Each structure stands twice: as structure tokens, then as C-alpha cells.
């Protein structure tokens, strides 16, 4: 029997207990959140003292600075149980270890000074983590595209055989969407402002009273605290909270990335079924408990599964933003505690898994070549017709000859389960004797891929490398992505 204190006796979110990286889990931890609260109170006290507010001693600031991470969670829990207010519980707990500051902690502020401003700091740091992982995925995938830029492969539209492309060119379609995700994440990160020092309903009335009606001092305080917290600008106006539309702008690129990741992983799953490309499969990995031969694409399946969750979380923040009553209502709080951290944690593990897949992709050129051989004869028939016309043949007559032979070959494939023997039929047909020696060259797959290799080169040089250039150090320091079970 498990005791109540046993962590295995109660539900744990798989996002933190199973999937998410230590750094992203730490970013949304109590230590990060409540440590950030204390730094906000410390920065506020510093700024108030700097602007001449009396009663804030050097000793008070020293005690606050020395105890930013010295959090007694047992005391905080008891205080919250008694006061039914998490912010005031932590004000009291902080004051116990910084007694000289106990009377000025949270001076003039409302709860949202710490809760909202801390959220904005945590969200910014989360996006930095996500961007650093995304650029590593793009870099790995770009290397893959360069390696296989010349390898012809059967293209598909409607998942039906179409004109040839190359393995590398197909990868650029994935990279292009990831570059757009990078742009969107950068924009959302850089657009994040700071709520600042605004008071209970955003009017700054409490701070105006503290500074005896000096409007300039209040504005200086707002800007100074904003800068001390690492932001260049704060939102010019707000109610009690910053506008929840900011959360929509923040989560939108993550939901959009979820769609990209789902698409890439789905493509890999389709290619795995064709046995053309596979995700990494470890030596002792088991694909099925019953079917020992199976090599299930479980990493790509995980990406799809988690991406679906990531995509739907945008609905939470959209609905929250739409029902903010006047200066604010508290029905956003519980929802935001779940939806936004989960979005970041989910995006984090999707990126880690995607990097792991991309770094270990296995390509099977012989399988790819065999599939090309089975379909290319049909695609090459127009080349046969043009070659015959150059030799003096009649276009319409040639077309009829090809049509008849193509239907015969298709019957062998579809009705008899045989291989496509169209080329053998063309070679054996006396009508095509004038081009018999040219047939092999007319079937060279490299003549069917157009500018695919050149497109890969141009795309990477013109678009990928410039986008990744600011992150050269991050990419150079990247480590292989390791997954939990």
C-alpha cells in the first residue's frame, strides 16, 4: 500500500513527470514563480527608495536581497490557509526573513503587480527556451535537406503518385513552415511588455498618494521598475491586469507551431509506412508487444498526439480574453494557471522530440528507387512521344501505341499483382525501335526532378542561414535531444 505522501498515490501531470525538459519544468516551478515575486518586491522597493520615498532603509533592501530564494513553503502554505490569499501569504513569509522590510514589502502595489508581472517574465523566459530549441531543429533539418537535395523520390499529391521531387526538397517544405513559426515566436517574444506599476484598477492612485501627488515621480517609478525587471517598455494603460489579449498573441504562435509539427510528423509516419524514411529506432526498442517485427514510429506519433493538445489550448485564452469584465474578473486565474504553462510545456516536449527524430532520420535509397521504377514508366510516356516525334513519328499514332501498352502494364500491376513492365513492352514493340537505345536515358530519374536541388541550395542560403545567424552560439552548443520513455 502507498502512503498519502507517496507521489505515486496521486495524479501527476505527464507534462512534468514524464515529458517536459528540466529547464522548462523549472521555468514554471514554484521556485521560479515565488522567487520572481520577491524580485519584483525588491525592485519596487529599490525604485521607491531611489525616488525619495521615506521609510525604506538600506538594511531592509539588504535583507530582501539576501532572501530572494529563501522561501519557507510550509509557512507560506499555513498563511495561505489562514488568509485565503496567496499573495498576502507570501508577503508575510518574505517579511519573516526580511524583518526590516516587513512594513514596506508590496508598498502601494496590488496583487497583480506580482502575479501579472511575474507571468510576463516567466512567459518571456519560456519563449526564449522554445526559440533556442526551434532553431536547433531547423538547423538539423537544413543539414538533412542539403545531404539529400539530389536524391530523387516519388512525389505525392492526394497521397497518390505524382511527379518526382527530391528527399531534400521535400524537407524544405517542412523547414519553411518552421521558419514562419520562428518568426512568429520571435515577434510574440519581442512584443511582450511589462504590466508595470499601475495600482489596483490601473490608475496608479496608490502611488500618486505615496508621492504626494507628484505625477512625474509616479511615471518615473513605473519606468524604473520596468527597466529593473529587464523590460524596455510597459503597457501604457491597463485595468487591474494586463490585457488578456496579450495571452492570445503569445499562444497563437505556439498553436501554429503545433500544426506544423503535426504535419511534419504525419509525413514521416506516411513515409515510414512506405519504408522510405524512418525515425530513429534503438537497438533494444520494442515496436509491439505481440508483433516482434514491428518498427512503430512512436516518436512521430507522440508529436502528433501532443501537438493536438497544443493546438486546442488557444481556445482557452481566446475565451478568457473575451470575458474580461471592465477592469478585470477573477475567472481567468485558474484557467491561465493551467492553459499557458501547459502550452509552453507541450511545445517544449514537441520540439525536443522533433529534434530527436530529425537528428536520427534514416533514409532508404534502394526502397525509394524501387518505388520510382514502379511508377516512372507511366510518367515517362510523354518523353517517349516527344522522342518519337523528333525521329519523324506521328504524335497521335504514338500516343495510341503508348496508351495500349500502358493499359496492358497497368493490368499486370493491378489485376495480377506483378511489376510494372511497361518499359519491356515498349522495348519489345517494333513501333518504338527508333528510340529503343534512348529509353534508358529517357527514364533517368534525375531528369524528372526539375530544379529541386537548386531550390534547396537557394532556399538554405537566402532564407535559412540568415534566420539562424543570430543563434549561431545556441546551435553550436546544442546537444543531441534525449527523450524520456
Query: Which 3 state secondary structure label does DSSP give 296?
Result: coil
3-state secondary structure of 340: helix
Task: Give the residue numbers marked as catalytic.
Answer: 158, 288
**Closest among 223, 72, 166 to 455, alpha carbons compared:** 166
Strand-pairing partners, residue 160, are 157
8 Å CB contact between 34 and 90: yes
Query: Whose CA is closest to 363, among 177, 170, 178?
Result: 170
Q: Is 29 left (phi over 0), alpha (psi -120 to 50) or beta?
A: beta
* DSSP secondary structure, 103-152, as one string: TTTTTT--HHHHHHHHHHHHHHHHHHHHHHHHHHHHHHHHHHHHHTTT-E
Angle formed at CA 352 by CA 351 and CA 354, multiple of 5 degrees: 60
Q: How far, in Å, CA of 348 to CA of 132, rounded?
A: 10
- CA-based nearest residue to 208, from 113, 108, 117, 114: 108
Query: If you search the block for the grid coordinates 490608475, which residue do you land on?
Result: 203
CA distance 30 to 32: 5
Distance CA 403, CA 398 (A): 9
DSSP 385-447: HHHHHHTT--HHHHHHHHHHHHHHHHHHHHHS-----HHHHHHH-GGGGGGGGGHHHHT-GGG
Distance between CA 276 and CA 354 in Å, rounded?
18
Amino acid at each position: 500500500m502507498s502512503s498519502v505522501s507517496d507521489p505515486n498515490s496521486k495524479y501527476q501531470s505527464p507534462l512534468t513527470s514524464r515529458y517536459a525538459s528540466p529547464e522548462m519544468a523549472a521555468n514554471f516551478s514554484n521556485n521560479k514563480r515565488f522567487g520572481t515575486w520577491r524580485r519584483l518586491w525588491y525592485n519596487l522597493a529599490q525604485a521607491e527608495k531611489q525616488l525619495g520615498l521615506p521609510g525604506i532603509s538600506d538594511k531592509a533592501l539588504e535583507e530582501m536581497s539576501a532572501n530572494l530564494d529563501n522561501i519557507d513553503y510550509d509557512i507560506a502554505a499555513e498563511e495561505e490557509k489562514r488568509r485565503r490569499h496567496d499573495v498576502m501569504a507570501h508577503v508575510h513569509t518574505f517579511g519573516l526573513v526580511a524583518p526590516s522590510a516587513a512594513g514596506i514589502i508590496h508598498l502601494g502595489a496590488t496583487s497583480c503587480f506580482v502575479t501579472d508581472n511575474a507571468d510576463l517574465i516567466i512567459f518571456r523566459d519560456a519563449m526564449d527556451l522554445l526559440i533556442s530549441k526551434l532553431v536547433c531543429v531547423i538547423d538539423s533539418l537544413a543539414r538533412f535537406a542539403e545531404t539529400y537535395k539530389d536524391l530523387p523520390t516519388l512525389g505525392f499529391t492526394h497521397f497518390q503518385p505524382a511527379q518526382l521531387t527530391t528527399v531534400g526538397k521535400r524537407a524544405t517544405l517542412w523547414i519553411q513552415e518552421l521558419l514562419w513559426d520562428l518568426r512568429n515566436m520571435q515577434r510574440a517574444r519581442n512584443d511582450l511588455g511589462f504590466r508595470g506599476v499601475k495600482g489596483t484598477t490601473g490608475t496608479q492612485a496608490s502611488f500618486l498618494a505615496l508621492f504626494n501627488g507628484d505625477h512625474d515621480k509616479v511615471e518615473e517609478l513605473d519606468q524604473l521598475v520596468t527597466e529593473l525587471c529587464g523590460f524596455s517598455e510597459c503597457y501604457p494603460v491597463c485595468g487591474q491586469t494586463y490585457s488578456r489579449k496579450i495571452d492570445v498573441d503569445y499562444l497563437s504562435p505556439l498553436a501554429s507551431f503545433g500544426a506544423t509539427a503535426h504535419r511534419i510528423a504525419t509525413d514521416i509516419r506516411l513515409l515510414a509506412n512506405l519504408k522510405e524514411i524512418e525515425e530513429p529506432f534503438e537497438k533494444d526498442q520494442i515496436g509491439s508487444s505481440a508483433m516482434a517485427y514491428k518498427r512503430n514510429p512512436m516518436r512521430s506519433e507522440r508529436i502528433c498526439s501532443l501537438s493536438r493538445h497544443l493546438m486546442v489550448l488557444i481556445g482557452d485564452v481566446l475565451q478568457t480574453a473575451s470575458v474580461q469584465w471592465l477592469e478585470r474578473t477573477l475567472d481567468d486565474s485558474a484557467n491561465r494557471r493551467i492553459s499557458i504553462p501547459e502550452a509552453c510545456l507541450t511545445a517544449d516536449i514537441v520540439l525536443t522530440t522533433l529534434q530527436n527524430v530529425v537528428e536520427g532520420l534514416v533514409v532508404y535509397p534502394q526502397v525509394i528507387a524501387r518505388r520510382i521504377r514502379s511508377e516512372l514508366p507511366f510518367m515517362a510516356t510523354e518523353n517517349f512521344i516527344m522522342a518519337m516525334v523528333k525521329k519523324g513519328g506521328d504524335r497521335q499514332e504514338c500516343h495510341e501505341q503508348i496508351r495500349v501498352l500502358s493499359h496492358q502494364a497497368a493490368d499486370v500491376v493491378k489485376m495480377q499483382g506483378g511489376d510494372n513492365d511497361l518499359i519491356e513492352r515498349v522495348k519489345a514493340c517494333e513501333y518504338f525501335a527508333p528510340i529503343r537505345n534512348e529509353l534508358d536515358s529517357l527514364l533517368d530519374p534525375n531528369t524528372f526532378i526539375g530544379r529541386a536541388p537548386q531550390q534547396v541550395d537557394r532556399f538554405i542560403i537566402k532564407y535559412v542561414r540568415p534566420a539562424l545567424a543570430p543563434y549561431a552560439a545556441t546551435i553550436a552548443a546544442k546537444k543531441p535531444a534525449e527523450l524520456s520513455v
